[in-house]
Chain A
Amino acid sequence: MFPHWSRRTHPETTLPGGAEQGPETDGPREPDPTARRALGLLALLELSEELGVPRDPSGIADAALFNLLGQYGCTRGALWLLNGGEGPDAVPLRAQGVPAELAVEVGERWARWFRGQGAGAPDPVVVDRIARLSPPPPGVEPAQRAELAVLAPMTAGERVIGILALGPRVGAAEFGAVELEMLRTSLNLLALTMENTTLRNRDLENRRRLRAAAARVRELETSARETTGSTATLRSPVRPTRGELRGVLASIHDERRPGVIAELRELDFSSAADVPPAMFDPDVTKRVVDAMLDDAVRRAPCGARIRLRLEHGADSAGAWVAVEVRDDGPGLPPERLRGIFAGGATGPGGLSLAEAKRLAESMGARVSADSDPERGTVLTLRLPAA
């Protein structure tokens, strides 16, 4: 099934004349089972230690995947988290040696299959063995194309929360009962870490939302005491002052990242070099950027990357500084892009994009949107440079 695995030294990479290849061995030999088991236990301890270091889900996936590749002697593998909400079922967190599109296909097929296995935690599946079923599960074919040998569910209680796949073992060794049992133990550890990380991120996000809601209530109370007229949003005092935006954005990124991760999206922050100071109101800017991020999280599918970026430039109206919120989702059709500021959908911060746009304009800034089916959507807050 995987012919190239049986020959472990490829002709094209063999050194000419066999020179300098190190001491020769007498060909493949069976590893000492006791030593292998001891090494497996050691790898499990290492995994436990490595997962004890706080990381985001991608970092956890990296640590676990490379540990398991080393533990079982595999050169390829992938790890998916299963999405309980809208969007694709399986979000690939890390795929090593498996093309991205194929990883998506494999994840989707096996997510459905593992979830359809009824009550209890499903067992790991050895692809070669399950391929003999008639008919084989629909995930077998893409798994064989991806040269994956075993797929194992990550479960929390009886809920399947992720899937790990590993390629064939170097030396054509099989995944026997002992290896599968140890794999199950490793995945229980991994599932626990993922669950804890998700819960911690959700907790941080809930606290942030509570703080935002409390601030909104205070603002509405103040507005109610004042005279009637325009909306509460527009009546907030706006005082643009000269300042650096980088620190404000870094703080927004740090505050929002756990919530974005809990929604299975990534959020990163970067800045162009030598960005000049801008004229802005920090509180208003934060609320506008929060609304832009809320919109990106709502629109972009699970697994999407959202980029918060600080840019600067100049045009006929003068120098400007811009905050971009860019996602790599599927983009918006022109009719939806035209109406992006007309809708009243509000995020957890309580501000719709339409309100955010008006609020930005009240401090002399403007908000615009652009979208491309190839590159996703970008929302831009442009402020005058100071």
Chain B
Amino acid sequence: MANEFSIDRAPREGVAVLRVSGRLDAKNAQQLMTACQDARGSGGGHVVLNLADVTFVASSGIGTLLALTEEFRDAGGAVHLVSLSDAVTSVVELLNLRQFLNIGVSEQGTLEAIGG
């Protein structure tokens, strides 16, 4: 898996699915915020973030996921994190954030559950 950060939007109607890869840190925190905010409109306030290819998540990356979760929640929607890589899972577990973040197993299952 490459360390270079990228966000690819899956070609689909309805709820946006953003596939994130590489290192999630301060250099790209703002890029992720903006991508999620831009994608919010197409899915009734819901966005799915696929984190399967995230190779490293820094504190700023976790801060971004927390801020996004709260921001979307306040607006009546949600950011759904799916297919967490081991790198993301270990930090989420260590910080005991699983119950705060909306974590799903797969893109498809989460999309079906939210009707997207």
Contacts and interface: CB of A to CB of B under 8 A. Distances in A.
Given A28-B99, A46-B25, A20 B60 contact: no
Given A20-B104, A73-B66, A66 B113 contact: no
Nearest to A20: B109
Interface in A68-117: 68-71, 73-76, 96-97
A311 to B, nearest CB: 26
Interface residues of B, number: 41
A69 B67 contact: yes
A35 B73 CA distance: 29
Interface stretch (A4-12, A119-127, A361-369): A4-12
Contacts of B61: 66, 70
Prevailing SS type, chain B contact patch: helix
Contacts of A74: 63, 66
Given A31-B95, A62-B26, A66-B29, A46 B104 contact: no
Contact of A20 (B58, B64, B94, B110): B110
A335 B95 CA distance: 59
Nearest to B84: A22
B73 A66 contact: no
A171 interface: yes
A272 interface: no
Interface string A23-57: 00101110110011001001100110010010000
B4 to A, nearest CB: 17
25 contacts: A20-B110, A20-B112, A28-B96, A28-B99, A31-B95, A36-B95, A43-B58, A47-B59, A62-B26, A65-B63, A66-B26, A66-B29, A66-B63, A66-B64, A66-B67, A69-B64, A70-B62, A70-B63, A73-B97, A74-B63, A75-B66, A75-B69, A75-B70, A96-B71, A170-B96
Given A20-B110, A50-B58, A170-B100, 7 more contacts: A21-B102, A36-B95, A46-B58, A67-B26, A67-B63, A76-B70, A96-B67
